[in-house]
Amino acid sequence: MTSPAYPRRHAREIAERMLLARGVKQNRLGAPFGNCLEACYATLLGVPLKAVPDPRNHAKGEEDAYDLLPERIPVLRKWLHDQFTLCAVGDEGESPPGVLLRTKDVPLFWIASGPSERGLQHACVYSNGSLLFDPHPSNAGLLEVLHWTVLVPLGPLWDRVVPTSILTKRKSA
């Protein structure tokens, strides 16, 4: 006996509802402490916000937090690699190549970033080119998408896109 086949659209709706059910809102707003990006990672990975590393957590003040901003992405990339065997692949543009599929029934989640109505850079979770989840309390989303990030599993094919510092560390281990 076979189980009933569910249309792909139904599967996408279920996947989106599951992601939204575990959506994590940011708990710090504004520069230089805003943690929208960390909230996006927590949402996509199903972990609490406090599990996502942020070097600015140890800042002694605003100036110190600004100084720690360059460490933010490398720390996140290392954490993704070590904890989830994932790599964050991103670039400038409105969407990742291949994400805007002809069929909109496939759930593909990614992080979009760009300017917000508050005049600051912001990050949100998108699905197939549309806002799905905004970690900011306003839920206003982005004015435009300028950068995208997709989480991909590491393996032989993806070793080419792993940051050099992680590859160097892995080879020396």
Q: What is the pLDDT of residues 94-109, one digit of tens each?
A: 777 654 444 555 557 8
Domain membership flag for residue 2: no
| DSSP H helices in 22-131 | 36-45, 62-68, 72-79
Domain membership flag for residue 3: no
Q: What is the pLDDT of residues 125-162, one digit of tens each?
A: 998 778 999 999 999 999 999 999 988 887 765 444 44
Task: Give dist(CA 32, CA 62) in Å, integer.
Answer: 7
7 pLDDT higher than 70 = no
Distance, first Cα to last Cα, the chain: 50
Residue 76, sorted as left (phi over 0), alpha (psi -120 to 50) or beta, turns out to be alpha
Number of structural domains (the chain) is 1
Domain membership flag for residue 1: no
CB 6, CB 15: distance < 8 Å: no
Mean pLDDT of the chain, nearest integer: 82
9 pLDDT higher than 90 = no
**At residue 44, what is the residue type?**
L
- Average pLDDT for 114-124: 96
Domain membership flag for residue 161: yes
Domain that holds residue 113: 8-172
Residue 44 or residue 2, greater confidence:
44
Q: What is the pLDDT of residues 32-61, one digit of tens each?
A: 999 999 999 999 999 999 999 999 999 999
